[in-house]
Amino acid sequence: MSLEKLIAVARGEVPADLLLTNARVVNTFTAEIEKGNVAISRGRIAGIGDYHQAKQTIDLKGKYLAPGLLNGHIHIESSLLHIAEYAKAVVPRGTSAIVTDLHEIANVAGLRGIRYMMDCARGLPLDCYFMAPSCVPATHLETSGAQLGAKELQTALKWKNVIGLGELMNFPGVLMRDEEVLKKLRLAKGKVIDGHAPGVSGKDLNAYLAAGASSDHESTAIEEGREKLRRGMYLMIREGSSEKNLDELLPLVTDKTYKRCLFVTDDRTCADLLREGDIDAVVRKAIARGLDPIRAIQMATINTAEHFRLRQVGAVAPGYVANLIVIDDLSKLSVDMVFHQGKLAAREGEALFSASRRTDPKITHSVNIKPFDIDALKIPASRKDLPIIEIVPGQIITRSIKLEANVKNGFVVPDMERDILKLVVVERHKATGNIGLGFVKGFGLKNGALGSSIAHDSHNIVVVGTNDQDIFAAVKEVERLQGGLVAAAGGKIRWSLALPIAGLLSEEPLEAVVPELEKLQKTAADLGCVLPSPFATLSFLALPVIPELRLTDKGLVDVVAFKLLG
Q: In terms of residue numbers, what domain contains 36?
A: 3-62
Give me the DSSP letters along 176-243: TT-HHHHHHHHHTTTSEEEE--TT--HHHHHHHHHTT--EES---SHHHHHHHHHTT-EEEEEB-SS-
Same structural domain for residues 112 and 224?
yes
The answer to whether position 484 is within a domain reads: yes
Same structural domain for residues 47 and 81?
no
Q: Which residues pair with 351 in a beta bridge?
A: 346
Of 297, 315, 333, which one is at a domain's C-terminal end?
A: 315
Same structural domain for residues 53 and 114?
no
Residue-level pLDDT at 1: 59
pTM of the entire structure? 0.90
- Asked if residues 161 and 130 have their Cβ atoms less than 8 Å apart, the reply is yes
Residue-level pLDDT at 243: 84
Indicate the number of domains in the chain: 3
CATH for 28: 2.30.40.10
Residue 292 burial by Cβ neighbours in a 10 Å radius (0-12, 13-18, 19+):
middle
The answer to whether position 364 is within a domain reads: no
Cα-to-chain-centroid distance, residue 203: 29
Same structural domain for residues 231 and 264?
yes
The answer to whether position 537 is within a domain reads: yes
The answer to whether position 99 is within a domain reads: yes
Helix (H) or strand (E) holding 559: none
Same structural domain for residues 558 and 412?
yes
Give me the DSSP letters along 81-150: S-HHHHHHHHGGGTEEEEEEE-HHHHHHHHHHHHHHHHHHHTTSSSEEEEEE-S-SSS-TTS--S----H
Distance CA 401, CA 441 (A): 9
Same structural domain for residues 58 and 91?
no
Per-residue pLDDT of the chain (566 residues; tens, 9 = 90+): 589 999 999 999 999 999 999 999 999 999 999 999 999 999 999 999 999 999 999 999 999 999 999 999 999 999 999 999 999 999 999 999 999 999 999 999 999 999 999 999 999 999 999 999 999 988 889 999 999 999 999 999 999 999 999 999 888 889 999 999 999 999 999 999 999 999 999 999 999 999 999 999 999 999 999 999 999 999 999 999 878 999 999 999 999 999 999 999 998 999 999 999 999 999 999 999 999 999 999 999 999 999 999 999 999 999 999 999 999 999 999 999 999 999 999 999 999 998 777 778 889 889 999 999 999 999 999 888 999 999 998 788 899 999 999 999 999 999 999 999 999 999 999 999 999 999 999 999 999 999 999 999 899 999 999 999 999 999 999 999 999 999 999 999 999 999 999 999 999 999 999 999 999 999 999 999 999 889 989 999 999 988 999 999 999 999 988 899 96
The answer to whether position 343 is within a domain reads: no
Same structural domain for residues 105 and 58?
no
Same structural domain for residues 197 and 307?
yes
CATH for 265: 3.20.20.140
Distance CA 474, CA 460 (A): 13
The answer to whether position 360 is within a domain reads: no
Residue-level pLDDT at 355: 77
Strand 69-74: give its sheet, edge to edge. Answer: 69-74, 95-101, 127-132, 162-168, 192-195
- Asked if residues 540 and 396 have their Cβ atoms less than 8 Å apart, the reply is yes
Same structural domain for residues 175 and 236?
yes
Same structural domain for residues 28 and 51?
yes
Same structural domain for residues 419 and 507?
yes
Of 15, 40, 62, which one is at a domain's C-terminal end?
A: 62
The answer to whether position 463 is within a domain reads: yes
The answer to whether position 8 is within a domain reads: yes
Same structural domain for residues 186 and 279?
yes
